[in-house]
A = this chain, B = another copy of it.
């Protein structure tokens, strides 16, 4: 079936130009002017592809082709918002690929059996307001009320925040999304495509280590209660535990601050965070338990105080087994043995899983880079991803 790789790249370029920042990347925060321009652009493309566009109460944009049968829809797409200095592909690829795939199917195969839809989800990144998965949460009916600041931003775009519940849908059968990996697993293993098996659960911990601030010159090493030396041992422990458990476990100390943070004072207090992810809930709990235990031992050995606070605890979400099997079959029929991969990042599919069957395809990210202007995927991999998506949607909707 014919898809036009040049048109795919051209549409990605067009979207990337909307919200372009002077110092690199694009920024399309929810309900902002660049966001609105991007939604209009996609709406025009949907019309051109023969789809009927519709905006729901939260600002998601849908393009629908009716099926010969009634019943629930097959949906593909992704989110249209970006982080600051966002790249060309995160979100944008899923929308442009979905549009290109459905366009090709309608042209070659005519009217589908089941309703077939492309969606541009209004927000996933949480890069404007303290909210993530805003669009997909509205689709699942999970948003009851809208905060004042967000409500004002909605009204600026002609959206009525009191009607947000009407964005909920009960009539989606399956949601499939093509996305970039945002990591370097596929690239480093030379694999061009992956079927996502699960989206990891994420736990965020905050550890506060307390020692005693002392004069760096007058306090012998053996009389110190150095909070930073203790925290360094804990940072090392976090890394070692995750490494020893092996893939797919990851643990990251991303934030760390020192008090009093003076060149000639032994640190008295250190606060740092740990981001823990594992696709299997038992695996993640084991990871957390080992980290809590070893950090506790380190603090006791060094006679330091340690307080651990849980900031977040999201369970992992498995992709639907039927959709995983179908995506693997579609890949095979396109001549590719797709690997299975766990997504370390969050995606709308993990929210939509509460209401419909979900599945995702990943294509490689060069250098594993994402959320930055360097975000890039080889054009041949993009084309492959779209071809597999076309075949998957054909299997689902025709």
Residue positions of A touching B, CB distance < 8 A: 181-185, 188, 200, 202, 204, 213-223, 226, 228-229, 231-233, 235-236, 239, 242-243, 246-258, 261-267, 273, 275, 277, 311, 343-346, 365, 368-372
Contact = CB atoms under 8 A, between A and B. Distances in A.
27 contacts: A182-B215, A213-B372, A215-B345, A215-B368, A215-B371, A216-B275, A217-B250, A217-B277, A217-B343, A218-B344, A218-B368, A219-B250, A219-B368, A221-B247, A221-B249, A222-B247, A228-B253, A229-B239, A232-B235, A232-B236, A252-B266, A254-B265, A254-B266, A254-B267, A255-B258, A263-B273, A263-B311
A250 B344 contact: no
A342 B154 CA distance: 67
Nearest to A258: B256
A319 to B, nearest CB: 16
Contacts of A183: 214-215, 217-220, 223
Contacts of A243: 221-222
Contact of A344 (B200, B213, B217, B236): B217
A216 B254 contact: yes
A344 B232 contact: no
B263 A275 contact: yes
A157 to B, nearest CB: 28
A385 B193 CA distance: 78
Contact of A220 (B220, B248, B369, B371): B248
Contacts of A184: 219-220, 223
A243 B181 CA distance: 45
Nearest to A233: B236
A369 B213 CA distance: 9
Nearest to A202: B217
B262 A255 contact: yes
Contacts of A345: 215, 217-218
